[in-house]
DNA sequence: TATTGTTATACTCTATAACTATA
DNA sequence: TATAGTTATAGAGTATAACAATA
């Protein structure tokens, strides 16, 4: 007779943990007035000033129309500026404003708090080990911490 | 002068990794014809036969109307049965059908594949360490592997 | 009157397709 | 004609509120 296999729970628990971490960050930045997705976009633009919306869409693995909505909200909030590129007036250069830079500071603080909250149950040594393993997995799977993953690689179907 | 702090990336990478794991599972069960959310509900019902929809909603941290939709889909697919409770005809007892039980087997296979795929970049020793740490974190935060977390503790606002 | 489940409805997120302007 | 960005629209997921049946 076959013994009843114990189900492999790590993958599921990892999904749960990721969702938990994401939700926690969402709560923490609510006072800042940004969604996690918009926060990720702000960080990407800060990292690559002058990015075009098209390039941003590629970076996000998303579509131009989605980028319009995200940038609209950031621009309306005064965190990001759109400037027509004089060299090719079809392009919009995206840049972080001074106000946006201040928000980036708040986001970093929120990230630190989130990090501490999520890892709180681990002691210092465990935390270090865990961080190393998570980094290794993320790198191996080609994940970018600034790309908000609604719930993963859509493209094919909303698999929620 | 203050040195530029290196941002704490583990929380974000964990979100990414969780979304990645969830998306992978979603792909794997596409042939089965279930969404991850429905799959989680099926597992919960298997674990607690005769559950009422109200109780299920509580278990999911969701609302009764949401449960109706989820159970509708599972019942239409023939994986779950609704039976009025003779003792209190307001309740519907939820149970997994024979067909549902077969699907549960397929889900377990998919979970094993997902688990292997996600953890593939780690060697055996790292995998064991990682699994232990993930389990510890999930337990400490009170997470249930069968509760699909759209993207976290909604309840207050869709923080996507 | 309180509780279980259902239906009607609305809102958010995100994608596809059609459109405008620039090249 | 090709490309960047925008608008219109649609679909999936999930919530709130009103409702029906039962207690």
Q: Where are the strands (E) in chain B, listed by range?
A: 80-84, 92-96
B90 touches strand D (CB under 7 A): yes
* Residue A28 covered by a domain: yes
Task: Give the chain B residue whose CA is nearest to the CA of A125.
Answer: B133
Position B6 scores a pLDDT of 67
| Cα gap A104→B33, rounded to integer Å | 42
Position A73 scores a pLDDT of 96
* Residue A153 covered by a domain: no
Q: Is A132 exposed, middle or buried (0-12, 13-18, 19+ CB in 10 A)?
A: middle
Q: Is A156 exposed, middle or buried (0-12, 13-18, 19+ CB in 10 A)?
A: exposed
Q: Is the pLDDT of residue A1 over 80?
A: no
A108-141 pLDDT, tens digit each: 999 999 999 999 999 999 999 999 999 999 999 9
Q: Is the pLDDT of residue A2 over 70?
A: no
Residue A3 near chain B (CB below 8 Å): no
Position A8 scores a pLDDT of 79
* Residue B133 covered by a domain: yes
Output the domain CATH number for residue B38.
1.10.10.10
Position A136 scores a pLDDT of 97
CB A15 within 8 A of CB B25: yes
Contact at CB, B18 and A23, closer than 8 angstroms = no
| Cα gap B75→A20, rounded to integer Å | 29
A74-116 pLDDT, tens digit each: 999 999 999 999 999 999 999 999 999 999 999 999 999 999 9
Beta pairing, strands B80-84 & A92-96: unpaired
| Number of domains, chain B | 1
Please report, rounded to a whole number, the percentage of residues in chain A having pLDDT higher than 70: 88
* Residue B160 covered by a domain: no
B135-154 pLDDT, tens digit each: 999 999 999 888 876 543 33
Mean pLDDT throughout A12-32? 93
B160 touches strand D (CB under 7 A): no
Reduce the DSSP state of residue A122 to 3 states and report it: coil
33-72 of B, contacting A, C-beta below 8 A: 35-37
Position A51 scores a pLDDT of 97
Give the closest nucleotide to A65 (alpha carbon vs C1').
D6
* Residue A38 covered by a domain: yes
Q: Is the pLDDT of residue A3 over 90?
A: no
Residue B97 distance to chain A (closest CA, Å) = 19
Mean pLDDT throughout A55-70? 96
Nearest protein residue to the C1' atom of C12, measured from CA? B158
Taking each helix axis from N to C terminus, what angle separates A10-28 and B124-140, rounded to the nearest 10 degrees?
50
Angle ∠(B18,B20,B26) on CA atoms, nearest 5: 105
* Residue B94 covered by a domain: yes
Q: What are phi and psi of A82, to 5 degrees?
A: -105, 130
Q: Is the pLDDT of residue A54 over 80?
A: yes
Residue A52's nearest CA partner among A89, A96, A92, A97 is A92
SS3 content of chain B, % helix, strand, coil (to 5): 60, 5, 30
Reduce the DSSP state of residue B138 to 3 states and report it: helix
Reduce the DSSP state of residue A93 to 3 states and report it: strand
Hey, which residues does A93 pair with through a beta bridge? A83
Residue B100's nearest CA partner among B4, B151, B32 is B32
Hey, which residues does A95 pair with through a beta bridge? A81
| Cα gap B5→B9, rounded to integer Å | 12
Q: Is the pLDDT of residue A145 over 70?
A: yes
pLDDT band at A157 (very low <50, low <70, confident <90, very high): very low
How far are the Cα atoms of A129, A137, B146, B158 from residue B17, in angstroms, in the given order? 16, 8, 18, 20
Position A158 scores a pLDDT of 27
Position B150 scores a pLDDT of 59
Position A144 scores a pLDDT of 83
pLDDT band at A70 (very low <50, low <70, confident <90, very high): very high
* Residue A91 covered by a domain: yes
Domain span at residue A34?
A: 20-142
* Residue B154 covered by a domain: no
B155 touches strand D (CB under 7 A): yes
Taking each helix axis from N to C terminus, what angle separates A10-28 and B10-28, rounded to the nearest 10 degrees?
130
Position A153 scores a pLDDT of 34
Contact at CB, B10 and A119, closer than 8 angstroms = yes
Per-residue pLDDT of chain B (160 residues; tens, 9 = 90+): 555 566 779 999 999 999 999 999 999 999 999 999 999 999 999 999 999 999 999 999 999 999 999 999 999 999 999 999 999 999 999 999 999 999 999 999 999 999 999 999 999 999 999 999 999 999 999 998 888 765 433 332 222 2
CB B103 within 8 A of CB B34: yes
């Amino acid at each position: 007779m076959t013994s009843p296999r114990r189900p492999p729970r790590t993958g599921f628990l990892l999904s749960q943990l990721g969702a938990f971490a994401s939700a926690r960050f969402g709560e923490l930045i609510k006072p800042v007035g940004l969604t996690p997705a918009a926060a990720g976009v702000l960080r990407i633009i800060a990292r690559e000033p002058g990015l075009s919306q098209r390039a941003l869409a590629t970076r996000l693995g998303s579509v131009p129309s989605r980028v319009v909505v995200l940038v609209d909200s950031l621009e309306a909030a005064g965190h990001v500026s759109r400037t027509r590129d004089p060299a090719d007036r079809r392009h919009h250069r995206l840049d972080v404003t001074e106000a946006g830079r201040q928000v980036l500071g708040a986001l970093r603080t929120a990230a630190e708090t989130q990090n501490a909250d999520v890892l709180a149950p681990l002691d210092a040594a465990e935390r270090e080990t865990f961080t190393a393993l998570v980094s290794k997995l993320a790198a191996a799977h080609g994940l970018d911490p600034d790309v908000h993953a609604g719930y993963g690689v859509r493209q094919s179907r909303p698999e929620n």
